[in-house]
A and B are shown apart, each in its own frame.
Chain A
Amino acid sequence: MTLTPAELTSAVSGGIGTSPQRPDGNLKVRGEFAYASDLWHEDMIWGATLRSPHPYARIVSVDLTEALKVPGVYAVLTHSDVPGRNQYGLEHKDQPVLAVDVVRYQGEPVALVGADHPETALRAMKKIVVAYDVLEPVVDMETAADSAPLHPGGNLVRHVPIRRGAQDLQADVVVSGRYEVGMQDQAFLGPESGLAVPAADGSVDLYIATQWLHVDRAQVASALGLPEEKVRLTLSGVGGAFGGREDLSMQVHACLLALHTGKPVKMVYNREESFYGHVHRHPAVLYYEHGADHTGKLVYVKARIYLDGGAYASSTPAVVANAATLGVGPYEVDNVTIDCYGLYTNNPPCGAMRGFGAVQAGFAYESQMDKLADALGMSPVDVRVRNAMTEGSVMPTGQVVDSAAPVAQLLKLVQDKPLPAGTSSDIRELPGGVSNTTHGEGVVRGVGYAVGIKNICFSEGYDDYSTARVRVSMVNGSLAAAVHTAACEVGQGLVTIMQQIVRTELGIERVTVLPMDTTIGNGGSTSASRQTYVTGGAVKAACAAVRSRLDGRVDIGSEVIDETVEWRHRATEALDPVTGQGNAHVQYGFAAHRAVVDVDVELGLVRVVALDCAQDVGRALNPQAVVGQIQGGSAQGLGLAVMEEIQTSGGKVRNPSFTDYLIPTVLDMPPMSIDVLELADPHAPYGIRGVGEPPTISSTPAIVAAIRAATGLALTRVPVRPEHLTGT
């Protein structure tokens, strides 16, 4: 085959807009990918964590004597062995590395053991004697602010008010409701794991599965009392994150043990410990009132939102800001009154999870929109389209939406998709599947719609940037590039995206991605749907710097062109603390879903038959990865709609296992029809819009709307359980 001149001179393959195969895909499917839990070091010992069995208790005494006698034990450490500051946290440093005189949640780390074998460590752990004075836990978020304070400043972590327009209006039609969102877990498959290796000079290397190397490092260094340069982090194989790895788990613990014993220390949580070892999605209680005129135009929205942050603040302040600022959804409303509260309780700590505050609000405001449609006798799509925001709309914060906001278009796209055929007669496609609960009896079909909004990147004036280094040299007679960042690949496909960007920008096909570590500047967090935007932007900028030095040459001899660039998105502002006004967000992302469900109304079992989605992604740098994110986000939303919940009782977790914390299987998730719009955002690199979170927001309310349509029930809580559907 010969190539035409056009083909010969066209850009190298595997650039942006294509979907080159990702390097980890086959390995993961075949079980050959090296995760952090596979780390190994000559001579290493194992760390284990003794955790509090109580949600709230005073520590009366800790006796390590017997534990220290166990042969093979190298160290047993408590808070008094923390050389630096025994407090850390993403936003407030309120969480002890090891508990001092009080434990505030079930599973809080109290002591550490380092031993020659995991089994030895377990045995020694069982010999640590902790005397607790058990206290009455605070578990109700709505009354937590007035309960006995769990922290010095009281139990209110943050209150964000939004006041826009008139505050006391009447409307033709008023609907109100109280909604609840249960505690969802990220349920990543690779449990927390890491390996800390001490060096002779008192410094330490930590190989770790995380979402943000530099913020981990800052917190670890502070707890160890070391300057940051003495703590080096390298990203290890990450088995999913979804927000659950933004906070520290064993990072400090492993380093403490390593520095204390002088030995490499490996720590791996098992599944149960993982449920105690990371933050979850905030459960929420949301009160909403919507007023509209008789044409369906929203006159006002009022909301009071409670988010249960659990025992420590984690990212609660930012989650509160999201729920508040995105609290009316992708709709134009001139008059908004919102009060959003994040609380401390003795429930498990909650923090970041895909959708981050927007998910909780989304369930409530979309439920309200359906209620409003019902009250007006309008269709759910019409009432949404009537109020849909567009480019130029003003947010409740006063911020003008200054790029595409195709809310009505997204809704119409999902509405116009063909509906699936009627209820199947194959039991595999009915609620219950091969469990053989129905052959069609009691099965009612329902259709529901939802649309959601999510802020992309970090907000409220945060200096959100990433650092990228691109190096070009000759390898075997042709140009080759290497790209280096500290931005974490957690499975989302950043490695491939960075290669694609370098190929497109430099026309160099061979691109190596160097290990992600702290020898380069901050890459920022792999969260807020921001890495393709911000680290992608940094790589693009670094390529531009390299390109101007390359100056069109294809042979640079022995020269090495090496450029490092720090890149930040446009600045945002803080919210006014009284009115909640301010240009707080960088970019908004939108997705819409139409769900079709079959509900066995007698047994309360649900099968989601179709879950179609339309989303604007600005520009699909890797179309297959975009679709993958939409499928995954939708599946996570399906989980919240019908099955996923960490159940607690008196602050204790009742289902810390995959036996009883259920996530959707391939037989629960329907194949999706997905429309991807590419309406470029002029402010973003390549026009891209963050992809990962928006589909998680609209999936849940669309499914619940469909279940409501099938059953006629109000359904104000997710996940919807068979008990809710059968009144039992």
Chain B
Amino acid sequence: MDFLRPETLAEALELKAARPDAVPIAGGTDVMVELNFDHRRPAALLDLTRIPELREWSDGLRIGSGVPYVRIIDELGAQLPGLAMASRTVGSPQIRNRGTVGGNLGAASPAGDTHPVLLASDAVIEVASVRGTRMIPADEFYVGVKRNALEPDELIVAVHLAPAKGPQQFSKVGTRNAMVIAVCSFAISLFPEENRAGAAVGSAAPTPRRAVDAEEFLASTLDFASPKPLLDSVKREFGELVSRAASPIDDVRGSAAYRKHALAVMARRTLGWAWQELLGQKNGGGEHACA
């Protein structure tokens, strides 16, 4: 196995073009597991950890694909609360020190924790090759079970994600209180100025996916400009629509019926918390999300 260690992005793209079979490795928290389990035997590994550009974030926000979770939590928690919440649930401290959003996107597991947040928050994935750069909306990035929209010569360079314009929440069910792969997960981002919200489910369909009907329901039902306390019936209907957006399976981690049920509960609750926070902001009360 060849171990390729480019120092710059340009060099990495050259290498990837020349060796499309080379498997990129960032934190390695997915790749090394696959190698250890002998699920994958790449002819070459393309180490991305030496490329400074991938490990930086800049205002806007443009987050290098190689920024580890621990830095997203510490440095971007205020601007990207949803992504920080999801990052906090990934694995253990060791995994959060190494693992990256780029790696989560590269693996494109339906259970990856950042995906629902990226979908609900209108993230755009910047990918590049020697042929140029593409900006792929998160919506179009996940194309199948563990498959993404990358061409064989492309690398994920960054995630573009505007600082939160309103309250955001992420919630994930697992059968243990830490270090657990999602049985199912849910993210919501409010865009009060646009009078709408983004909502997406994880680990409940072949790919992470937006709950479009649920989003439309909120846009048509709620008044984001002068919010009133939420009706229970709205929360319930929203939960139902989120649950209907999913097409889960029965597997060792949980039943399809449970996933649908849990998504409805998480959707109801997270909408409640986000809305409560919005009410607090609008009423100038500095009120907190916690019920």
Contacts and interface: CB of A to CB of B under 8 A. Distances in A.
B170 A436 contact: yes
B121 interface: no
B261 A662 contact: no
Interface of B: 36-38, 85, 88-89, 92, 169-181, 183, 252-255, 257-258, 260-262, 265-266, 269, 272-273, 289-291
A594 B180 CA distance: 27
Contacts of A654: 252
A655 B253 CA distance: 9
B269 A438 contact: yes
A643 interface: yes
A272 B173 CA distance: 25
A607 B177 contact: yes
Contact of B176 (A643, A723, A726): A643
A309 interface: no
A660 interface: yes
A272 B39 CA distance: 12
A662 B173 contact: no
A434 B89 contact: yes
Interface in A673-728: 721-723, 726, 728
Contacts of B265: 442, 602-603
Contact of B290 (A431, A439, A668): A439
Given A668-B177, A728-B258, A435 B89 contact: yes
Given A436-B85, A436-B172, A605-B173, A728 B257 contact: yes
A647 interface: yes
A442 B268 CA distance: 12
A691 to B, nearest CB: 27
Contacts of B260: 728
Nearest to B179: A665
Nearest to B253: A660
A665 B269 contact: no
A556 interface: no
Given A122-B38, A432-B173, A647-B252, A726 B258 contact: yes
B253 A667 contact: no
B255 A728 contact: yes
Contact of B171 (A431, A437, A664, A665): A437
Interface string A419-444: 00000010000011111111111100
Given A272-B37, A728-B258, A668 B178 contact: yes
Given A270-B36, A665-B179, A723 B88 contact: no
Contacts of A425: 290
Given A643-B175, A665-B178, A437 B269 contact: yes
Given A436-B171, A647-B252, A723-B255, A441 B177 contact: no
Contacts of B290: 425, 439-440
Contacts of B170: 436
A667 B252 CA distance: 22
Given A604-B258, A643-B176, A659-B181, 11 more contacts: A436-B171, A437-B173, A437-B266, A603-B262, A605-B173, A647-B252, A662-B176, A722-B173, A722-B254, A722-B262, A723-B257
Contacts of A647: 252
Contacts of A660: 181, 252-253
Contacts of A664: 176
Contacts of B178: 433-434, 665-668
A94 to B, nearest CB: 30
A440 B291 CA distance: 7
27 contacts: A122-B38, A270-B37, A432-B177, A434-B85, A434-B89, A434-B178, A435-B89, A435-B174, A435-B177, A436-B89, A436-B170, A437-B269, A440-B290, A442-B265, A603-B265, A603-B266, A604-B262, A605-B175, A660-B253, A662-B180, A667-B177, A667-B178, A668-B178, A722-B258, A723-B258, A728-B257, A728-B258
A597 B89 CA distance: 22
B272 to A, nearest CB: 8
B171 A435 contact: yes
Given A435-B89, A665-B178, A441 B258 contact: no
Nearest to B185: A435
A659 B251 CA distance: 13
B264 to A, nearest CB: 9
> Which are the 3 A-B pairs with shortest beta-carbon distances?
A667-B178, A728-B258, A433-B177
Contacts of A272: 37
A49 to B, nearest CB: 15
